[in-house]
Amino acid sequence: MAESTQPLLTDSSSPPPRTLDDTIERYIGSFGWGQFLQATLVSFSGVFDAQQTFISIFTDFEPTWHCTESDSFCHQSVSNICILPKTAWSWDFSPHVSVISEWGLQCAGSFVKGLPESSFFVGCLIGGLILSTLADSSLGRKNMLFLSCLVMSISTMLTVFSPNIWVYAFLRFVNGFGRATIGTCALVLSTELVGKKWRGRVGIMSFFGFMLGFLSLPIMAYINRGNSWRVLYIWTSIPTIIYCFLVRFFVCESPRWLFVRGRREEAISILKRVASTDGGALISMSFSSLPSQEEEEKPSVNIYAAMKVLLGKRWALKRLSAVMAVAFGIGLVYYGMPLALSNLDFNVYLSAAFNALMDLPANLITLFLVDKLSRRNALIGFTALGGVSSVLIFALQNMRIGNHGGLQLGLELISYFSACSAFNMELIYTIELFPTCVRNSAIAMTRQALVLGGVFSPVMVAAGRKNGFWSFGLFGLAIGLLGLFVVGLPETRGSDLCDTMDEEECKDRRNSNDIASSVIS
């Protein structure tokens, strides 16, 4: 491991820590095996999160078909399946491979075809709004993570028994509702179990867990090809149920949250377990010297109160509207592109695997170039690149010369990579645009706008099966044009973070005066 765990029993002459953060940092500042195992187990929730987010790529697709009569009236490359007699065509595989073919939805409207996955994202929206404050208040990080994974796993298993599209869509809604807080809880819990030095690196583990889950889907779907779509839900639900029990019995609650809630003895016990060395008496003494935090350090202001603050300031409302508009455009592409893979002239299993791997360079670019890139210019650049690539896919689909499947996939990967990079950059930009008192709420609203894009993308993908403009064309126009909303926002690279709304306003006035002075001179 990178460093040995810092001894709990230190020189008595060393000054005692004065704050909660200092006390906790003193004992978990290093990165030991206990913390590594805890962070890894918590971050593994991203695997199951990604599987349920993108599973409809392989369960809700429209299967290929072939003509069963030799008559020239039927030709699968030009004929509309809905005007052909049922005896003139047949599915290439068993009808049970997809919900579309099993329930005869091939001629249904785009709304019905996209309803299950749209319901999933609506569940994410509502779950995010309702459950967002429970991890800070009554339930805690660990219990919220356990409850979210449990609801997601049970609803996934129940989905196997769906008799029709309406029950299926409802269960997908429940699945999204439960899944809504998994990413946030995992990120917060894993980073609160380590010292400041290691939080950034541990936070990246959650993103790699999500990538691993996305990457596992095409492998599982390829093994299951030709079999019922219900099998894929079984394969993804059983490991999630097992994971719930691992979280319940082996994951530690955040000692920071426990102490803030007044549960001092539990916090001390967790620190002893995570630090995994002797010196428990010194830990107890260090904590006993601190005042109770239950009343002094309440959880951060909830999103509803923070929204009142944001709406009350014109400059804050302008910034929030801009970043949410950009996030909506990014969400259309981020969630829509993988769902539209079956609309490309390329192997869907390889396409999904390549898409999953695109998260890696996007995260690496953010990690290594974040200090060098202009937030505003990078965001405009990534959204423009994603928009142009997406529109070019639509243009290629309308060219009837040769097979452009490989080129379509290349453009799709560029567009998806651009969306991933743009969202990473926008999260950083949002953190720097808003003061501490409303920062968490601003990030939460930005994430909600991203998910709102996911609500519309499945319907657009379904419509795009007949005309690519409604999927790739609109995806490109949306992300490209909405990305321009940041033009009027200030650049934040290298600027100091403010704590209050008044400090942020003072900083803006200073920046405006500096710009005016430089123009005059």
Give 66's DSSP letter.
E
334 in the same domain as 388: yes
Within a domain: 293: no
Within a domain: 93: yes
Beta bridge pairs of residue 65: 91
218 in the same domain as 304: no
- pLDDT per position as a tens digit, 116-172: 999 999 999 999 888 876 766 678 888 889 999 999 999 999 999 999 999 999 999
Of 10, 9, 61, the residue nearest 338 (C-alpha)? 61
Is 447:423 a contact under the CB 8 Å cutoff?
no
Within a domain: 69: no
422 in the same domain as 318: yes
Within a domain: 105: yes
As separate numbers, helices (DSSP H) first and strands (DSSP E) second, the chain gives 23, 2
346 in the same domain as 267: no
- pLDDT per position as a tens digit, 81-112: 888 888 788 898 899 999 999 999 998 999 99
206 in the same domain as 244: yes
312 in the same domain as 279: no
Of 311, 297, 251, 28, the residue nearest 136 (C-alpha)? 297
Within a domain: 57: yes
305 in the same domain as 174: no
> What is the band of 515 on the pLDDT scale with cuts at 50, 70, 90?
low
* Full domain range(s) for residue 57: 18-64+88-287
278 in the same domain as 318: no
Cα separations in angstroms, 396 against 155, 231, 402, 410, 458: 39, 35, 10, 12, 21
Final residue of a structural domain among 243, 260, 287:
287
φ, ψ at 253 (rounded to 5°):
-75, 155
Final residue of a structural domain among 265, 287, 309:
287
- Residue 348 CA to residue 346 CA, distance in Å, equals 6
Within a domain: 159: yes
442 in the same domain as 312: yes
Residue 512: give its domain's CATH number. Answer: 1.20.1250.20
Q: Look at the chain and report how many structural domains it folds into.
A: 2
Final residue of a structural domain among 261, 287, 313:
287
225 in the same domain as 127: yes
318 in the same domain as 174: no
Share of the chain above pLDDT 90, in %: 43
Q: How many CA atoms lie within 13 A of 87 on its CB side?
A: 2
- pLDDT per position as a tens digit, 369-411: 777 888 899 999 999 999 999 999 999 888 765 567 889 999 9
Within a domain: 13: no
Within a domain: 314: yes
Give 74's DSSP letter.
-
